[in-house]
Amino acid sequence: MKIDLLSPDSFAAGQPHAQFDWLRANSPVRWHDEPGGAGFWAVTRHADVYAVDRDFQTYSSEPTIMITDPLSEAGSFGPYKMMLMMDPPEHAGFRKLIRSEFTEPAARLRKDRIQQLATQIVDSVIARGECDFVDEVAGEMPSFVIAELMGLPLEDGRELYKLTEIIHTAPEALPPGAGGQAVLKMFEYGSKVMAEKRARPGDDLASRLLACEVDGRRLADMEFLLFFMLLVDAGGDTTRNLLSGGLLALMENPDQYAWLMADLDARLPTAREELLRWTSPVIYMRRTAKHDAELAGQKIRAGDKVVMYFGAANRDPAAFERPDVLDLSRTENPHMSFGNGPHVCLGQHIARIEIDAMLREVLTRMKDFELAAPVEWLASNFISGPKAMPIRFRAA
């Protein structure tokens, strides 16, 4: 089996499940070459991904969590780091700053507003009977939600989300330097937000971040910008890809779609978790070994890159019954789509509310979905999902 987990071609039709199946069965911690880089270990079994994600003492999130990082193309950030790329205890100090905004009760307070946004999004396409589901429906929700969280105009959420998409695209599929430029544009926008929120603080996350303290001091400008970029990046195309990939899975599995529709409200929670497992929007997170270690019989050396493939873990027969079957009624579902350990997705409760609101709205108001053209997938080895998915539908 030819293994290539770097080329965007391997992801041109979704996650490379044939490669993952072979790796899990034959070489679950496998050395992978990296043109122009040091190479990395590809980890594909559920138990090993789980263990690496939790063992921050061995597997560090520093200096970065991408195999090749567009942030490093944008230049140096001095002593400053993004929370996603810190280890405990430093990480805990930063996560604490915004944790309370993202608890389950805090997320629930946003439910009505998120439902309103879902209605508004479907209103804008319902009469047409066709749309690009990715751009016009799925992508709108996380763009609007991040704008609301940060206290920005909804339209600006759209622009930021376009930058996220570039940052998450494999560098090979972009003009040289485009990833770095997108990062710089994100910083430019973040600097404007910083100036505006300092002058006129509001009741939003950006204003609260500027007012809070870590180690008895305010955040440095660059720390704010890195936080800003993390929040915009993390919640954007992930949620969008779950929604588009989720609808596609329902179209491809009519029996499952019918089962869900027979009692949508009651069945949505297990269905949503299964769609998370099935689509696995985040392909991987990278760690770097702090010291020599052993993983599933392989000797890992200090400094080696170790890459956790969540989509592979999510189809591991040792963790899931009939992993290759979409089963929306699955109750034993320890999927890793939100990761695990200290960095487990901070936005997962908001993401679930966004997903439920959007799926409920789409599935109750639209029906008879069909593809109007073949799905085009993102050219990314980091984030998985449809880039364009033109559909036809009828109003229900």
Nearer to ligand HEM, 126 or 307 (CB): 307
Calculate ∠ Cα 145-171-38, nearest 5°.
120
Rounded to the nearest 5°, which phi and psi values hold at 213? Answer: -125, 145
Taking CB under 6 A as the binding criterion, the range among 5-13, 133-141, 277-285, 369-377 that sits at the site for ligand HEM is 277-285
Nearer to ligand HEM, 209 or 285 (CB): 285
CA distance 204 to 210: 10
- Based on the shown chain and the rule CB under 6 A, indicate whether residue 337 belongs to the binding site for ligand HEM: yes
Nearer to ligand HEM, 83 or 249 (CB): 83
CA distance 41 to 59: 12
Q: Least Å distance between CB 183 and ligand HEM?
A: 17
- Based on the shown chain and the rule CB under 6 A, indicate whether residue 150 belongs to the binding site for ligand HEM: no
Binding mask 57-86 for ligand HEM (x = CB under 6 A): --------------------------xx--
CA distance 131 to 393: 9
Among the residues of the chain, which ranges form H helices?
17-26, 46-54, 70-73, 90-99, 104-108, 111-126, 140-150, 154-167, 178-199, 205-211, 221-235, 237-252, 254-261, 264-279, 310-313, 348-365
- Based on the shown chain and the rule CB under 6 A, indicate whether residue 340 belongs to the binding site for ligand HEM: yes
Taking CB under 6 A as the binding criterion, the range among 191-199, 209-217, 237-245, 385-393 that sits at the site for ligand HEM is 237-245
Residue from 58, 60, 64, 239 binding ligand HEM (CB under 6 A): 239
- Based on the shown chain and the rule CB under 6 A, indicate whether residue 114 belongs to the binding site for ligand HEM: no
Residue from 178, 230, 372, 388 binding ligand HEM (CB under 6 A): 230
**What percent of the residues of the chain are helix, what percent strand, and what percent coil, each to the nearest 5?**
50, 15, 35
Nearer to ligand HEM, 181 or 281 (CB): 281
- Based on the shown chain and the rule CB under 6 A, indicate whether residue 95 belongs to the binding site for ligand HEM: yes
Q: Is 119 exposed, middle or buried (0-12, 13-18, 19+ CB in 10 A)?
A: middle
CA distance 151 to 342: 27
- Based on the shown chain and the rule CB under 6 A, indicate whether residue 238 belongs to the binding site for ligand HEM: yes
- Based on the shown chain and the rule CB under 6 A, indicate whether residue 358 belongs to the binding site for ligand HEM: no
Q: Least Å distance between CB 281 and ligand HEM?
A: 4
State the pairing for strand pair 130-132/59-60: unpaired
In the 8-state DSSP scheme, what is residue 383?
B
In the 8-state DSSP scheme, what is residue 127?
T
End-to-end CA distance of the chain: 46
- Based on the shown chain and the rule CB under 6 A, indicate whether residue 244 belongs to the binding site for ligand HEM: no
- Based on the shown chain and the rule CB under 6 A, indicate whether residue 113 belongs to the binding site for ligand HEM: no
- Based on the shown chain and the rule CB under 6 A, indicate whether residue 288 belongs to the binding site for ligand HEM: no
Q: Least Å distance between CB 102 and ligand HEM?
A: 7
Angle, in degrees to the nearest 10, between helices 178-199 and 154-167:
150
Residue from 141, 234, 260, 271 binding ligand HEM (CB under 6 A): 234
Residue from 70, 151, 190, 281 binding ligand HEM (CB under 6 A): 281
Query: How many residues belong to the site for ligand HEM (CB under 6 A)?
Result: 26
C-beta neighbour count of 396 within 10 angstroms:
12
Give contact residues for ligand HEM (rule: CB under 6 A).
Answer: 53, 83-84, 95, 230-231, 234-235, 238-239, 242, 281-282, 285, 337-341, 343-347, 350-351
